[in-house]
């Protein structure tokens, strides 16, 4: 004998339902000291002098623009974004990602903030970075788990290992 639908969810299985939503900064942020900016500026000047001696003027402009971008990102705090997890996918501000476009997810600590990383199947953006509040980690995990596989450990890439080694051995500011 067929089972009768008793709940509203059973009547319409294609209904879009919000599982969890929150507001959080758009990216992890750490307030930097004067020492950080001064050390980065001196390092940039050294690189600029070396590039000038080799007549690499275009590379000098590239280094200058990268330092400007780093200074801008580290001095201006991010605005709060609206995040929503639904039965169809994940919404970040006004951009929606369907579950079929996403690959897997894991959590990572950055600057003392819990960050949810979601891999995408497309080359761009490649990975979504969503900041979450500390107590919401398990709620977010339980909302996403029916749709995407969870990675407990992600092997660090060569770039991550290199940046960790550089920041540990040549810090731009004292801790």
Each residue's pLDDT tens digit, 71-116: 999 999 999 999 999 999 999 999 999 999 999 999 999 888 899 9
Q: Is residue 1 part of a domain?
A: no
Same domain for 114 and 40, yes or no, is no
* CATH classification of the domain holding 140: 2.30.29.30
- The domain tally of the chain equals 2
Residue 123, helix vs strand vs coil:
coil
Same domain for 88 and 111, yes or no, is yes
End-to-end CA distance of the chain: 68
Q: Is residue 170 part of a domain?
A: no
Instruction: Give 14 or 82, the one with higher predicted confidence.
Output: 82
Where does 4-157 have alpha helices with state H?
8-11, 34-53, 57-75, 137-144
Same domain for 66 and 87, yes or no, is no
At residue 5, the pLDDT reads 39
Same domain for 22 and 100, yes or no, is yes
CA dihedral angle for residue 115, residue 119, residue 124, residue 125, rounded to 10 degrees: -20
Same domain for 115 and 126, yes or no, is yes
Q: Is residue 9 part of a domain?
A: no
Same domain for 21 and 83, yes or no, is yes
Same domain for 90 and 128, yes or no, is yes
**What b/e readout covers 67-76, taking b as 16+ CB neighbours within 10 angstroms?**
beebbeebee
- The residue range of the domain holding 100 is 15-27+79-152
CA neighbor of 173 nearest in space, from 5, 38, 28, 22: 38
């Amino acid at each position: 004998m067929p089972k009768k639908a008793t709940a509203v969810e059973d009547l319409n299985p294609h209904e879009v339902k919000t599982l969890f939503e929150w507001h959080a900064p758009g990216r992890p942020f750490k307030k930097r000291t004067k020492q950080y900016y001064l050390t980065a500026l001196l390092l940039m000047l050294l690189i600029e002098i070396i590039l000038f001696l080799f007549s690499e003027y275009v590379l000098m402009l590239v280094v200058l623009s990268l330092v400007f971008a780093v200074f801008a990102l580290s001095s201006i705090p991010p605005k709060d974004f609206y995040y929503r997890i639904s039965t169809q996918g994940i919404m970040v501000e006004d951009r929606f990602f369907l579950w079929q476009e996403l690959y897997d997810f894991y959590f990572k600590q950055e600057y003392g903030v819990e960050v949810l990383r979601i891999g995408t199947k497309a080359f761009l953006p490649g990975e979504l970075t969503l900041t979450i509040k500390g107590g919401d980690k398990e709620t977010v995990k339980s909302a996403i788990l029916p749709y995407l596989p969870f990675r407990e450990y992600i092997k660090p890439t060569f770039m991550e290992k290199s940046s960790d080694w550089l920041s540990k051995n040549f810090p731009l500011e004292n801790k």
